[in-house]
Amino acid sequence: MSIATAIKTLQTEQSNGVSALIDDRAYLAELPETPGYPCTVHVGVSDNQDRVHPGESDNRGGNGLYTSRWQIDSYADSYSECEQLAKELDRLFTPLKRHPVSDTIITSCRRLSGRPVRETGVDKWRMIAEYEFMYEYLTD
């Protein structure tokens, strides 16, 4: 499973505050033409797999650690709903330590930045947040 798929799975397929708000409305790269709200969009910011320890294997059967940065935008009808979704994303991602998602193990995640934006033309709010994920694959 790719890190992009793992990020979506964490948001939509596990019982948490994010999935309670967005159901299955976590999109990769861009909003669809007629999205439901609230929702999230995640986009890779760095090269998707900057290997931290190339060629090394750890003693747990992993293939070494990778790191990548992702922008995860929260969209909602109101500022308060958008802010709540952004806080739930932080609650979901930042405490992750050796969290398995299929064959991907997210070893840590930290929020790097965040700011609100009023989207013009669609009358929606967007909270832009950037996260750094460290992860490993249990299989090649």
> What confidence score (pLDDT) does residue 15 get?
79
> What confidence score (pLDDT) does residue 41 get?
96
- Please give the residue range of the domain that contains residue 35: 3-137
Burial letters 66-100, b for 16+ CB under 10 A, else e: bbbbbbbbbbbeeeebbebbbebbbebbeebeebe
140 residues of the chain, pLDDT tens digit each: 889 999 999 999 877 899 999 999 999 999 999 999 999 999 999 864 545 554 555 454 445 788 889 999 999 999 999 999 999 999 999 998 888 888 888 999 999 998 888 877 768 899 999 999 998 888 65
Name the domain count of the chain.
Answer: 1
**Tell me, what CATH number does 91's domain have?**
3.30.2000.30
